[in-house]
Amino acid sequence: MRAVWKWIGIVAVIGIAMQLVRPRIGNPPVTAELQAPPEVQSILKNSCYDCHSNETRLKWFDQVAPGYWLVAHDVKEARRHLNFSEIAKLPAAQQRGALFEAVNMIRLGAMPLPQYQAMHPGTAVTPEQLAVLEKYLAPFAETDSVSAAPTPNATQAPAPENTVRLVNDAPQPASGKMSIQTILPELNGFAYPAGWETWKTISATDRGDNHTLRMILGNEIAVKAIAEKKINPWPDGAAFAKVAWQAAPDDNGGLKPGKFIQVEFMAKDASRYAKTDGWGWGRWRGMDLKPYGKDAHFVEECTNCHAPVKGNDFVYTMPLEK
């Protein structure tokens, strides 16, 4: 009996001592809150603000260590990634991108964090609330200046005659390509996959959220895996290139790829890239192909965003069936 009391005493002392270690959460001033309609804001306040704002409200049980340590860590990470109290200082396009990412994390069941939902009933985003957020974001809205263009019939708008000459033989056109030697590797050491231009198209996306058109290409191993339907998990050696262009108006009231924005890669090697979900990640921006990111930590952006599709081996793209 005495031994039991002794142990209870020890646990109580440790428990109280743990309370003394309190990383600060605090609520810094709200400097640039998201501007959105009240119905949108109330959903975000109810489900996101405890972590993704400077208006964190802790329940009593959130404040008891060791749980408190986890809460403090989550709030710090959440604010660093997306802070609705400071988001309005970002450029409009970046704010829009952050909101789309947020809605997609909700849709994919990644947010609010399941452990947070379990401890805080009523914070789950309901389908009705999700519909409100989606309606607000309206990625393919009528007001889209490009798609609101006049409506000629594509088949009756031929290019001027003789703009293309058909010839028996022609000299090779000059290539404006950058020499591979001058393209730097990514900041995590991931090398630029030379020759990806010859990979095969496996899908394309029309991105209303950020007005880009994208093509997804796969290397030989990836294309073979698609044909054999062995893509979950993808085999080692499979790689994708996703190329993004600004969506630009074409001559028929539609959209075509305009300015080249970036090319990004995923390359599978379960052991080599074990620390980053089995994939190597890289992104090169602009016609001068500058490696993306400030330092090697850029890869966390990739893995965080792809985490919700873990069940698909971290791949968002659904390749066209062969």
Output 81 or 96, the one with its CB closest to other proteins.
96
The C-alpha atoms of residue 227 and residue 221 are separated, in whole angstroms, by: 10
Nearest-approach distance from CB 45 to other proteins, in angstroms: 21
Output 63 or 262, the one with its CB closest to other proteins.
262
Nearest-approach distance from CB 245 to other proteins, in angstroms: 6
Output 100 or 279, the one with its CB closest to other proteins.
100
Is position 124 an interface residue for other proteins (rule: CB under 8 A)?
no
Residues 250 to 289 in contact with other proteins, rule: CB under 8 A: 250, 252-260, 263, 284, 286-289
Output 295 or 321, the one with its CB closest to other proteins.
321
The C-alpha atoms of residue 186 and residue 310 are separated, in whole angstroms, by: 23
Residues 173 to 192 in contact with other proteins, rule: CB under 8 A: 173, 177-178
User: Is the Cβ–Cβ distance between 281 and 266 less than 8 Å?
Assistant: yes
φ/ψ of residue 293, rounded to 5: 105, 160
281 has which bridge partners?
266
Burial 153-164 (b: 16+ CB within 10 A, else e): eeeeeeeeeeee
Output 57 or 322, the one with its CB closest to other proteins.
322
Output 71 or 243, the one with its CB closest to other proteins.
243
The C-alpha atoms of residue 203 and residue 188 are separated, in whole angstroms, by: 27
Query: In this structure, how many other beta carbons lie within 10 angstroms of the beta carbon of residue 222?
Result: 28
Nearest-approach distance from CB 26 to other proteins, in angstroms: 33
In the numeric block, the tokens 């049980």 are attached to: 61
Is position 164 an interface residue for other proteins (rule: CB under 8 A)?
yes
Output 139 or 237, the one with its CB closest to other proteins.
139
Residues 12 to 41 in contact with other proteins, rule: CB under 8 A: none
Output 29 or 150, the one with its CB closest to other proteins.
150
Structure tokens that stand for 21 in this block: 């270690």
Stretch of 18-26, 44-52, 69-77, 201-209 contacting other proteins, by CB under 8 A: 201-209
Query: How is 68-128 classified by DSSP, letter by letter?
Result: HHHHHHHHHHHHHH--TTTGGGS-HHHHHHHHHHHHHHHHTT-SS-HHHHHHSTT-SPPHH
Which residue in 192, 210, 220 sits closest to 281, CA to CA? 192
The C-alpha atoms of residue 68 and residue 111 are separated, in whole angstroms, by: 20
Is position 311 an interface residue for other proteins (rule: CB under 8 A)?
yes
Which residue in 243, 247, 245 sits closest to 265, CA to CA? 243
The amino acid occupying position 268 is K
Residue of 245, 269, 301, 303 interacting with other proteins (CB under 8 A): 245
The C-alpha atoms of residue 189 and residue 264 are separated, in whole angstroms, by: 14
Residues 126 to 145 in contact with other proteins, rule: CB under 8 A: 134, 137, 139-140, 142
Is position 206 an interface residue for other proteins (rule: CB under 8 A)?
yes
Stretch of 53-61, 105-113, 117-125, 294-302 contacting other proteins, by CB under 8 A: 105-113
Residues 212 to 241 in contact with other proteins, rule: CB under 8 A: 213, 215, 217, 226, 229, 231-232
Output 56 or 219, the one with its CB closest to other proteins.
219
The C-alpha atoms of residue 283 and residue 187 are separated, in whole angstroms, by: 10
Rg over CA atoms, the chain: 25
Is position 168 an interface residue for other proteins (rule: CB under 8 A)?
yes
Q: How big is the site for other proteins, counted in residues (CB under 8 A)? A: 81
Is position 159 an interface residue for other proteins (rule: CB under 8 A)?
yes
